[in-house]
């Protein structure tokens, strides 16, 4: 059959973005031949995405000239030849600058090709009794939507080895629309969970104009009720951003709050992670400084969890599950300030009313404004930063809550000396309260190495109070 033996495994790009052509080592002798048709580890090292195939199909064709296509399916494919030879033509039908790009080649058992979702494929057998095999990363169902383009579209200019008028082609394939009539396939979407909290609102703002973003509030997805996740058509999403959490730190120490905190932050997140794993979805999950006890003055991403209270324990449990996913970003943050009620708004209100508050002076950290937190999350996704955990807060000098309160008073025109510092122990004396980490400062080197540098928190504070 003219197949080359003893080639090295190699991959090269094509004229269609994301599509990779592989040379496969085929080992042959007088008995026949053997090859590793798909080898996850070796091929990933050569650039193959970890596309997690779930179905293996074989197409047998008894005649030369059998021609199928041109079809774009809503999944990724890995195509190889078992016996015979095929001529292949692909057309990019994805929305974007590569729409209409083409690539053609012949495949024998010594080659294979990875085809991203949205790239239409067509195959013409060049020998009788040809079989080709394809792995796909989603299960076929009767509701599966395909996109097509006509085999004979003159704008494509495909030079079929066996002319279509002499080939075996179905009437259905001959009737597909021309490229000019094809609606481009939009990219898979981003699902934002917790879209109406203070971070969710900021994320909506930074993704404004991005048609991929869909927002789920608690009427659609409630992590405290994992069964709500079963109603989502997950195959249409590429990314989930989880901005939902149970954050009532003090209430979490009560029997009712403990159950709710674990239901949302641990059990619900575990259910979400399972879905992300099953569908190959990137999961972006927001974490907290409360997973640490605060004895270390500056926390890096590799510090072991040492949570003091129920909230931190439940967040640490959720982080552990998300961290097991192949595709994930855990974004760990602290002292978040956004729209709605928060510490800064409370202090500004007290200042306007002439109240002189006592504020904790032995907990230290930096504020994180939701605009920067949201922008950092968008950056990690947009640049495809290496998967893993990233600390994300605003930059600037470390301060106590009392120092921040004094800054707020000063910015709004009140006397900063109206704020009195008090220890955590004295502040919470006689109150039902969760233990707090003493130090909440997050080390930001890893985030900055990924190309994102948040603003100084004091400059953001002034802009927040004096827009």
CATH entry, 10-181, from 3.10.20.30, 1.10.472.10, 2.60.120.10, 2.40.50.140 = 2.60.120.10
Tens digits of per-residue pLDDT, 406-417?
999 999 999 999
User: What number of residues does the chain have?
Assistant: 467
CA atoms in the 13 A half-sphere facing the CB of 405 = 26
pLDDT at 214 > cutoff 50: yes
Q: What is the DSSP track for 251-319? A: GGGSHHHHHHHHIIIIIIHHHHHHHHHHHT-EEEEEEEGGGS-S-SSEE-TTPPP---SHHHHHHHHHH
- Answer yes or no: are the C-beta atoms of 389 and 323 closer than 8 Å: yes
**In 97-197, beta strands by DSSP E:** 102-107, 111-115, 119-125, 130-136, 147-148, 189-193
Mention every residue, 6+ apart, whose C-beta is less than 8 A from residue 100.
91, 92, 155, 179
Instruction: Could you please state the CATH topology (level 3) that the domain comprising 189-465 is classified under.
Output: Rossmann fold (3.40.50)
Tens digits of per-residue pLDDT, 290-304?
999 999 999 999 999
In this prediction, residue 1 has a pLDDT band, given cuts at 50, 70 and 90, of: very low
The percentage of residues in the chain with a pLDDT greater than 70, rounded to a whole number, is: 99
CB environment 53-78: b (16+ within 10 A), e (fewer)? beeeeebebeebbbbbbbebbbbbbb
Tens digits of per-residue pLDDT, 329-350?
999 999 999 998 899 999 999 9
Between 145 and 287, the more confident residue is 287
Average pLDDT of the residues in 194-209: 94
**For residues 31 and 28, what is the distance between their CA atoms, to the nearest angstrom?**
7
Residue carrying the six token digits 């910015």 = 411
**For residues 441 and 399, what is the distance between their CA atoms, to the nearest angstrom?**
9
CA distances from 321 to 14, 180, 190, 271, 277 (A): 37, 46, 21, 9, 11
Average pLDDT of the residues in 53-62: 94
Extents of the domains making up the chain:
10-181, 189-465
pLDDT at 2 > cutoff 70: no
Q: Give the residue numbers annotated as catalytic, written as ranges.
A: 71, 134
User: Do β-strands 130-136 and 77-83 pair in parallel, antiparallel, or remain unpaired?
Assistant: antiparallel
CA distances from 373 to 121, 206, 387 (A): 41, 10, 17
Residue carrying the six token digits 């009620």 = 341
**For residues 48 and 154, what is the distance between their CA atoms, to the nearest angstrom?**
32
Tens digits of per-residue pLDDT, 164-188?
999 999 999 999 999 999 999 999 9
- Answer yes or no: are the C-beta atoms of 230 and 179 closer than 8 Å: no
Tens digits of per-residue pLDDT, 3-29?
666 689 999 999 999 999 999 999 888
Residue 177: per-residue pLDDT: 97
């Amino acid at each position: 059959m003219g197949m080359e033996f003893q080639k090295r495994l190699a991959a090269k790009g094509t004229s269609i973005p994301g599509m990779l052509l592989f040379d496969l080592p085929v080992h042959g002798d007088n008995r026949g031949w053997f090859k590793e048709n798909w080898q996850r580890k070796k091929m990933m090292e050569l650039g193959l995405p970890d596309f997690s195939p779930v179905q293996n199909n074989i197409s047998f064709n008894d005649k030369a000239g059998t021609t199928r296509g041109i079809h774009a399916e809503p999944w990724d494919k890995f195509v190889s030849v078992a016996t015979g030879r095929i001529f292949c033509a692909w057309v990019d039908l994805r929305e974007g600058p590569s729409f209409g790009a083409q690539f053609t080649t012949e495949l024998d058992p010594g080659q294979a090709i990875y085809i991203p979702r949205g790239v239409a494929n067509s195959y013409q057998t060049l020998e009788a009794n040809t079989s080709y095999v394809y792995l796909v990363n989603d299960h076929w169902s009767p509701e599966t939507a395909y996109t097509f383009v006509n085999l004979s579209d003159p704008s494509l200019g495909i030079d079929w080895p066996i002319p279509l008028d002499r080939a075996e082609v179905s009437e259905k394939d001959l009737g597909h629309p021309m490229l000019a009539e094809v609606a481009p396939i939009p990219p898979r979407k981003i699902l934002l969970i917790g879209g109406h909290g203070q971070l969710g609102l900021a994320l909506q703002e930074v993704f404004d104009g991005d048609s991929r973003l869909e927002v789920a509030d608690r009427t659609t997805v409630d992590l405290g009720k994992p069964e709500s996740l079963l109603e989502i058509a997950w195959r249409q999403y590429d990314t989930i951003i989880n901005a939902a959490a149970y954050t009532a730190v003090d209430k979490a120490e009560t029997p009712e709050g403990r159950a709710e905190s674990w239901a949302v932050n641990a059990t619900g997140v575990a259910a979400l992670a399972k879905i992300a794993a099953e569908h190959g979805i990137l999961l972006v999950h927001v974490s907290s400084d409360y997973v640490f006890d605060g004895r270390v003055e500056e926390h890096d991403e590799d510090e072991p969890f040492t949570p003091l209270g129920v909230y931190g324990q439940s967040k640490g449990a959720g982080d552990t599950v998300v961290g097991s996913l192949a595709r994930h970003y855990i974004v760990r943050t602290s002292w978040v300030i956004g729209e709605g009620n928060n510490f800064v708004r409370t202090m500004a209100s007290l200042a306007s009313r002439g109240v002189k508050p006592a504020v904790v002076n032995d907990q230290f950290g930096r504020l994180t404004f939701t605009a920067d937190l949201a922008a950092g999350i968008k950056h990690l996704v947009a640049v495809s930063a290496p998967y893993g955990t990233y600390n994300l807060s605003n930059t600037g000098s470390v301060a106590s809550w009392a120092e921040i309160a004094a800054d707020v008073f000063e910015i709004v025109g009140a006397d900063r000396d109206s704020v009195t510092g008090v220890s955590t122990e004295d502040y919470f004396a006689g109150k039902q309260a969760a233990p707090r980490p003493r130090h909440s400062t997050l080390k930001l080197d890893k985030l900055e190495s990924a190309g994102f540098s948040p603003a100084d928190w004091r400059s953001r504070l002034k802009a927040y109070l004096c827009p």
